[in-house]
Chain A
Amino acid sequence: MNFELNDEQRMLSDSLSRFLADRYDFEKRKKYIATAEGFDRRIWQGYAEMGLFALPYPEDEGGIGGTPTETMLVAEAMGGAIAVEPWTEAIAIVPALLQAASSEQRAAIAEGIISGEAVPTWAHRETGMIERDEKMKTTARDGKLSGAKTVVSFGAEADVIFVSAVDDAGETGLYVVRKGAEGLEARGYRTQDEGRAAELTFDGTPAEKLEGGIPAAEAIAAAEARGLAASIGEALGIMEKAIELTVEYIKGREQFGRPIGTFQALQHIAAQAVVEKEQVKSMAMYAALMCDEGDAETRDLALSTAKVKMCDAARFVGQMSIQLHGGVGMTMEYSIGHYFKRLTMLEILWGDRDFHMDRLCEAGGLAA
């Protein structure tokens, strides 16, 4: 039992935080999200140069051999900057999906992602299908995909799209589609939290099937677990920053002739936010450590536990941050609202509270 970070992990966290402080402050972020693609490829390249995209791959495949703990640290820092790019897909999801490929195929596909040239995304959810693939309608026939995927992060901008689909035998498979492929249509839009997403339709779209690794369904479940774990780390980073911004604000804001942070009613709300945030920190670590649990059900129940806790804390910390900022918290101009919006989206993504409560309740709760 050990919850301490090692020196490399501390270094990773520090250097990414420095990079983001330097190149991703709130004003710069406004410029990035206003660009045509909704993010800055030079920042993406910066992530690649720091080795973020190589992090999750084994060392003998040109990677750094990082674990979900490293992913959690990256996510926490990204949350602090509310970085909008599909880094979760690149760092947490794609490496897990590529376990379904042979090592040669994996190396060929990962190369461009690790170098930062190709931005990947994950097209899995369909309308009416939340996190579960039994009702998946996208089909694969003769190496061609047909169907539709919904709310695909940067779906119109990404270069490599990982797609789940069922074949004629009813088997779930994983496929790679390149940007601009025949029959691929992307209807892109901005999201509440200032990222981008798209509705993708495939009509006989040529795709490369991932083959030679673990079964696709297992790879998908592992990927969803890692995405969820990363999102809890990201939520932690957002909550830390939201509390910091709020405390700073109530120290400076004067009413009735004194800083409003001297009022006990406000202090206790802020203190409760710290309590909730600390519980999320514990759960982010738990989620990261349970990602590699061999038994899929144990892993998924642990992750659901962490997610429910995160949802409750996110609701409280997000809402209190706006409340304590008062009127200015409502504005687009102040950063706090942007943290609140991203936090709210994270409650919903990777399975919402009800989904995870269902999963836990159906299983009769956690094993002792």
Chain B
Amino acid sequence: MELKFTPEEEAFRQEVRDFIDANLPDATRQHLKLGNAPTKEMTIEWQRTLNKKGWATPRWPAEWGGPGWTVTQQYIFQQENQRAPAPDPLGFGVNMVGPVIIQFGNEEQKKRFLPRIANIDDWWCQGFSEPGAGSDLASLKTRAEKDGDHWIVNGQKTWTTLAQHADWIFALVRTSNEGKKQEGISFLLIDMKSPGVEVHPIQTMDGGHEINSVFFTDVKVPAENMIGEVNKGWTYAKFLLGNERLGAPRVGASQAKLQELKEIAKNRIVRGRPLWDHPRFRDKFVEAQIELKALEMTVMRVLSGIESGADQSKPDPATSVIKIKGAQMVQRLTELYVEAAGEQSVPWLDDEGDNAQVGPDWTIRAAPNYFNMRKSSIYGGSDQVQKGIISKAILGL
């Protein structure tokens, strides 16, 4: 066992850091530093910068334009990109549908979609959840019926993140009602500009517009847009969710946030002295650091297992641990920001803008981010779903 990175890996870290420093627009960095989500333009601009360097798709094989990094290098890159902070490459394309196309798609699909995913020429969104199919995803009802060399899609998807920007959606659709519900699902790629696709915004309690409902009414989808075999979509979806879980913890981002929180606490006077000198705050800060260290170690353990070629077919309890603890970590940090902002987190930033500015810039995002991040223990398999996985797959209950 060895905790330290090799000198080559440290040199790689420096290379990544230098590249980000030299190329990340300052406005983007400042925008993210204040706790804002990146705009569409910021995400596209940064991903294209990375793509020019060959770094937009860290996990892809070299054959399809990946940089050929080891798992450790991928981790280092992710950590540095988050620490900067820079926008993440668009996960729906790069980490979700991309790997599915690489693993299960045909040659034509790979040639057609992969380069455009890498360069974010197409913005992808994910069509999994439905109003009646959340944790019980396999009960989804959006159906696709074969009509010659097309599929005709009808139904509704929901919680569709950033569908308002999307050019394409990868959707799970029901193609059979026979047998087990998991065995009648297919994985279909749908052009969002197709007639019959409608996107309706859903405003979240923080005031943001991140998620949407997507309606499909007799949408014609060419048969060649089906991934892999008909009725095998559930297998591809599970592969995709496994990938999603590994990326969930955002260790680098949390490390940067904690460092920032320490600075904030040192500069913020509460009841006559810096917040940092209040023992109750210090306890909470240190406890968050301890949680983050444990999470970081668990992430490194899993990566080390993958790198050493450990058997990936058996369920590794650590991946569900990472999902649960990763979500809690992000949520905990947003709580601490609200506590640090105190009453300065009360004003709501509306269209009138400046009226609501009563504290330092970061305070305006504290409460909305706290409200918003409640999502992290709900999406991608809720905490309760993860515990179900652990009790069945690991404990045999």
Contact = CB atoms under 8 A, between A and B. Distances in A.
Partners in one complex: yes
A360 B286 contact: yes
A152 interface: no
B286 A357 contact: yes
A267 interface: yes
A245 interface: no
A199 B387 CA distance: 46
Contact of A251 (B259, B287, B397): B397
B176 interface: no
Contacts of B285: 365
A273 to B, nearest CB: 9
A275 B324 contact: yes
A181 interface: no
Interface stretch (A1-9, A13-21, A132-140): A1-9
B339 interface: no
B48 to A, nearest CB: 30
B286 to A, nearest CB: 5
Contacts of B320: 275
A271 B293 contact: no
A315 to B, nearest CB: 14
A308 interface: yes
A285 B2 contact: no
A361 B282 contact: yes
Nearest to A6: B1
Interface stretch (B124-132, B295-303, B357-365): B295-303
A3 B294 contact: no
Given A1-B72, A282-B298, A286-B297, A365 B396 contact: no
A357 B321 contact: no
A366 B317 CA distance: 27
A279 B322 CA distance: 9
B21 interface: no
B388 interface: yes
A69 interface: yes
Contact of B294 (A243, A262, A282): A282
Given A267-B397, A308-B290, A366-B293, A279 B259 contact: no
B397 A250 contact: yes
Interface string A278-313: 110111011011100000000000000100110000
A78 to B, nearest CB: 19
Nearest to A362: B282
A368 interface: yes
Contact of A271 (B2, B294, B395): B395
Given A268-B391, A283-B294, A290-B3, A3 B255 contact: no
A3 B305 contact: yes
A283 B310 CA distance: 21
Given A283-B294, A305-B290, A1 B391 contact: no
A357 B290 CA distance: 10
B390 interface: yes
Contacts of A250: 397
A362 to B, nearest CB: 9
B321 A365 contact: no
Most chain B CB atoms below 10 A, which of A247, A268, A274, A282: A282
Interface string A223-264: 000000000000000000001000100110000000001101
Given A279-B325, A286-B3, A365-B285, A2 B298 contact: no
Given A4-B304, A361-B283, A289 B3 contact: yes
Contact of B300 (A1, A251, A279): A1
Contact of A275 (B300, B308, B390): B390
A225 to B, nearest CB: 15
A270 interface: yes
B384 interface: yes
A368 B390 contact: no
Given A250-B397, A270-B391, A305 B289 contact: yes
Nearest to B301: A3
Given A247-B395, A285-B1, A289-B2, A274 B286 contact: no
A100 B376 CA distance: 51
B3 A1 contact: yes
Nearest to B5: A1
A361 B388 contact: no
Contacts of A289: 1-3
Contacts of A288: 1
A301 B314 CA distance: 35
A323 interface: no
A154 to B, nearest CB: 31
Given A1-B304, A270-B395, A69 B1 contact: yes
A272 interface: yes
B387 A268 contact: yes
Given A282-B298, A308-B287, A361-B283, A1 B255 contact: no
B293 A305 contact: yes
A288 B3 CA distance: 10
A282 B305 CA distance: 13
B180 interface: no
A4 to B, nearest CB: 5
Contacts of A247: 395-397
B303 to A, nearest CB: 8
B211 to A, nearest CB: 27
A368 B317 CA distance: 28
Interface in A168-210: none
Nearest to B395: A247
Nearest to B291: A309
A283 to B, nearest CB: 6
B321 A278 contact: yes
B112 interface: no
B4 interface: yes
A16 B278 CA distance: 48
Contact of A286 (B255, B276, B293, B321): B293
Nearest to A302: B293
Nearest to B298: A282
A3 B321 contact: no
Contacts of B305: 3-4
B353 to A, nearest CB: 34
B397 A278 contact: no
A5 B9 CA distance: 21
Contacts of B255: 368
B184 to A, nearest CB: 26
A271 B321 CA distance: 10
From A2, A266, A361, residue with most partner B Cβ within 10 Å:
A2
11 contacts: A2-B1, A2-B308, A267-B395, A271-B394, A274-B390, A275-B320, A279-B295, A286-B294, A305-B290, A361-B286, A368-B258
Given A268-B391, A278-B298, A361-B286, 13 more contacts: A247-B395, A279-B294, A283-B293, A285-B297, A288-B1, A289-B3, A305-B293, A308-B287, A357-B283, A357-B287, A364-B262, A366-B289, A368-B258
